[in-house]
Structure 1
Amino acid sequence: MRVEHHPLAGTSLGTQRTVTALHFGDEQAARKIYIQASLHADELPGALTAYHLRHKLLELEAAGQIRSHIILVPMSNPIGLGQNLHYSSSGRFDLFSGQNFNRLGDLSLYGLTSTQLKLNQTQLGDDASSNVRIIRQAMSQALSQVQAKTQVEHLHLILLKMAHDADVVLDLHCDESAILHVYTLPQLWPTLEPLARFLGSQCQLLAEDSQANPFDEALSTVWARLQADYPQANIPCACASTTVELRSRADLSHVLSKQDAEGIVQYLAHQGDIALSHEQTLPLPELLTPAHPLSGKEYVFAPQSGVVVFHVKAGEWVTAGQVLADVVDPISDTLIQVHSPIAGIVYAHSSVQFAQQGDNLYSISGAVDLGKGAGLSA
């Protein structure tokens, strides 16, 4: 294992922050795997999973069983790690700018790559491997020229520089109260479906573009958009990138994290990046639920402020019109029932006890495209 430290620019006077990356296997290998945890710094199940994954990878490396270059960033957001307000961690948004750490804003890998390809007067043809190599070179060239304007942008640049040429990218997150679920592109689902099986994912959300520019989509949608720009060229979707939501924030246990780390190892073995013995190899599990379009999800909001009584938990299937929760106003003596707008699976819900009007109480995934687009919440 090689440990690499990336100093973060833009920190306050007298302070220093560093992104630490762990490299396993042959760094000149044909394939590269990139795994990061806790980009939302207060979402810690991924960091604990990375802890256990590190030990598994060290054992596999010592036994000569790692075939690809694997980069593991156990805690990818030192900015968010330092944000605490009144004894509570605040790691989803940058407190200086308000930017969601998992929204890359104006930093567009597609825009940078497309511009660089045009400047290089690139010719792309029928050879998929050659096209991937040329496009990744243009990505690297473009990223090296970006001058970060903020500390958050520099953080994103550091992570993109490590991940842009990876064949598989796993971005480990969690939700407030949730079941294990994954987000990815429909084109990538055949590659990532075994991961959902090995992790026991209960909800799979697919969208070509959520229009939010999260980290995983920044790395995957670039290939789909370049396919449209160069229809005559053979351009594969060369980066199988996904956001993995490892259940709830409170689901911090060695049992679950060891289980998730083992699931990742089994997936990488299934992809040929790790060579497990017959005794180490687990059979491919059944997929727990079929994939749904992200455009089939509905957020359910609080109709008024008040005390929230939840009746349905994450992982339960609901029908359209079913009562999900009560929002109680003890002052005016009113109780409003909150109903499910669709049939589907509750993959996440809020943990608030007192809601403001408009608070997102539930996230429900349905099988039918609702025609509202595939946008993500802030």
Structure 2
Amino acid sequence: MDVSEIIIPGDTPGTEWRLPVLRFTGRDPKAPKTYIQAALHAGELPGTALLHFLCERLRQAESEGKIAGDITIVPQANPIGAAQSHFGELQGRFDLGSRTNFNRDFPLISIADRAELIENIDDYPAIDRLKRQLLHMALGADLVLDLHCDDESLQYAYIDEAFWPEAADLAAALDMKAVLLSDGESSAFEEAVGFAWKYQIPGERRSRLPGKLSVTVELRGKRDVDPVLAKKDADGLWHFLGARGIVSGAMATAAAFSGPAVPLDNVEIIRAPEGGAVLFHRSIGERIAAGDLLATIVTRPGQPGGSIDLHSPQDGLILTRTSDRLVRRRGDLMKIACDNPSKASRKAGTLEN
């Protein structure tokens, strides 16, 4: 295993960020190349724990000559966000300087322009240098996994329709409970990777990308940083790499993916109509029917009519739930994967900021 660091100078004198990169060299130049990163939202650590245990297996495999395709791993992809604390609370989702989500505004380019990502890179602020370095590394691979987590959540993934159903093997290996299918046209990291591949010829969009994969994996919730879960997920990813011919000696034992795979339009986001204390009646993993009571918002405690009941707009599977119990007006409470499109109006692209 080769360990190096990308140094990202800060935007003020005397500061810099260090981005560790772990590389395993494959023995077969024709085998697929893999790029995996975790903690792009710096406080989302289940993926970092997974990669810690996966690297143990990869080091052993490397010593035995069992790695066929090059593997690049960035276990802590956002040192800038990891250093942002406000009154003792980590602020790893948004850059405090630009107020931009660390997983938005990645450059949308053709793969033919990959080299331009790091040309004159010192002309950019630190957050953009970080994004350009990450995207440049990812576009050197065939399989790209961006490991995230949600708040309170099942295991699920965002996958561009261009990679489905071929990516069902990853969903099965990681025991995902659902897959959310997107059109791949946002500026999030995994969609920027897919964009570069789809527009290999500028202006001409490819609808299928055989042999490629770019996916955002949601590894349960923020508090699910656990050695047992991390080792289980590392085993699943190891078997996926084996099934794709990237490592040898991994037995593919995962059952076929059987969860729902629904378009983003079929995701109901339950939001708080007013601020207050939220009392949940249903939890993640439960299948609910239209009209079921999901939550009560206590808006004026102790007063007549001081609460609001929220009901399910349609049948579905509860994927996520907020861990906050004091919620703001229009705050997200739940995501529900459904068979039919939501009637709620929302912007195209990603579900949340």
TM over 0.5: same fold? yes
Does the 8 Å contact 1:219/1:241 carry over to 2?
yes
Instruction: Give the corresponding residue for 2:213.
Output: 240
Instruction: Give the corresponding residue for 1:358.
Output: 330
Question: In the superposition, relative to structure 1, how do residues 286 and 28 fare at CA in structure 2: closer, same or farther (>3 Å)?
Answer: closer
Q: Secondary structure at the match of 1:191?
A: coil
Question: In the superposition, relative to structure 1, how do residues 177 and 235 fare at CA in structure 2: closer, same or farther (>3 Å)?
Answer: closer
Percent identical pairs in the alignment equals: 33
Question: In the superposition, relative to structure 1, how do residues 230 and 16 fare at CA in structure 2: closer, same or farther (>3 Å)?
Answer: closer
Question: In the superposition, relative to structure 1, how do residues 350 and 234 fare at CA in structure 2: closer, same or farther (>3 Å)?
Answer: closer
Instruction: Give the corresponding residue for 2:55.
Output: 54
Candidates 338, 341, 352, aligned match of 2:310: 338
Candidates 244, 248, 253, aligned match of 1:275: 248
Alpha-carbon separation, structure 2, partners of 1:234 and 1:201: 24
- Residue 89 of structure 1: how far off its partner (Å): 1.2
Q: Which moved more, 1:334-343 or 1:166-175?
A: 334-343
Correspondence list, 1:82-101, <5 A: 82-101=83-102
Q: Secondary structure at the match of 2:165?
A: helix
2:225 matches 1:252: yes
Correspondence list, 1:1-378, <5 A: 1-26=1-26, 29-30=29-30, 31-103=32-104, 105=105, 107-110=106-109, 113=110, 136=111, 138-145=112-119, 147=121, 148-209=123-184, 211-226=185-200, 229-230=203-204, 236=209, 239-276=212-249, 280-328=250-298, 329-330=300-301, 332-333=303-304, 334-370=306-342, 373-378=348-353
Q: Which moved more, 1:327-336 or 1:317-326?
A: 327-336
Alpha-carbon separation, structure 1, partners of 2:208 and 2:182: 19
- Residue 13 of structure 1: how far off its partner (Å): 1.9
Q: Secondary structure at the match of 2:7?
A: strand
Does the 8 Å contact 2:27/2:68 carry over to 1?
no
- Partner amino acid for 2:88? Y
Alpha-carbon separation, structure 2, partners of 1:341 and 1:288: 24
Alpha-carbon separation, structure 1, partners of 2:220 and 2:321: 11
Deviations 1:76-117 (A, max 9, x none): 0000110112221110011111110011x2x4333xx2xxxx
Does the 8 Å contact 1:223/1:235 carry over to 2?
no
Alpha-carbon separation, structure 2, partners of 1:228 and 1:161: 18
Instruction: Give the corresponding residue for 1:123.
Output: none
Alpha-carbon separation, structure 2, partners of 1:161 and 1:227: 18
Question: In the superposition, relative to structure 1, how do residues 204 and 227 fare at CA in structure 2: closer, same or farther (>3 Å)?
Answer: farther
Q: Secondary structure at the match of 2:166?
A: helix
Does the 8 Å contact 1:181/1:245 carry over to 2?
yes
- Partner amino acid for 2:301? P
- Residue 214 of structure 1: how far off its partner (Å): 0.7
Does the 8 Å contact 1:223/1:238 carry over to 2?
no
- Partner amino acid for 1:317? R
Q: Secondary structure at the match of 2:220?
A: strand
Larger helix proportion, structure 1 or 2? 1
Q: Which moved more, 1:354-363 or 1:328-337?
A: 328-337
Q: Which runs of 5 or more residues in structure 1 are unaligned?
A: 114-135
- Residue 272 of structure 1: how far off its partner (Å): 0.6
What is the total number of aligned residue pairs between the two structures? Answer: 346
Alpha-carbon separation, structure 2, partners of 1:139 and 1:285: 39
Deviations 1:37-59 (A, max 9, x none): 00000001111111111111101
Q: Secondary structure at the match of 2:340?
A: coil
- Residue 296 of structure 1: how far off its partner (Å): 0.7
Q: Secondary structure at the match of 1:362?
A: strand
Does the 8 Å contact 1:177/1:349 carry over to 2?
yes
Question: In the superposition, relative to structure 1, how do residues 346 and 235 fare at CA in structure 2: closer, same or farther (>3 Å)?
Answer: closer
Q: Which moved more, 1:259-268 or 1:216-225?
A: 216-225
